[in-house]
Amino acid sequence: MKIFITIIMSLYISNSFALDRKDLASINLNEILKDTQAQPSNAGDKHLSLIWWVPFEYWASVFSRDSNINESLKKEMLGTLENYSILAVVQADISSFGAFNFYPNDHILKNLKVTYKNSNNKISIIKPTNSYSNDLKILLSQITPVLKAAMGNMGESFNFYIFDDKNTKGGRILDPYKNGLLKVDLKKSNKENINVSFETPLNSLFHPRLCPNGKPAHISWNYCPWSGKEI
The pLDDT tens digits for 126-137 are 999 998 989 998
CB neighbourhood size of 143 (10 A): 19
Asked if the structure places residue 133 within a domain, the reply is yes
The pLDDT tens digits for 37-73 are 999 998 988 999 999 999 999 999 988 888 888 889 8
As a whole number of Å, the end-to-end CA separation of the chain is 44
Asked if the structure places residue 230 within a domain, the reply is no
pTM: 0.83
- The tally of domains found in the chain comes to 1
Dihedral of CA 28/141/50/108: which sign?
positive
d(CA 195, CA 113): 9
pLDDT score for 34: 95
Domain hosting 44: range is 2-205
For residue 154, CA distances in Å to 35, 168, 193, 208 come to 20, 37, 21, 34
CB 165 within 8 A of CB 56: yes
Asked if the structure places residue 219 within a domain, the reply is no
Asked if the structure places residue 23 within a domain, the reply is yes
CB 107 within 8 A of CB 48: no
Asked if the structure places residue 173 within a domain, the reply is yes
Asked if the structure places residue 167 within a domain, the reply is yes
Asked if the structure places residue 222 within a domain, the reply is no
Asked if the structure places residue 214 within a domain, the reply is no
Q: Phi, psi at residue 157, to the nearest 5°?
A: -95, 5
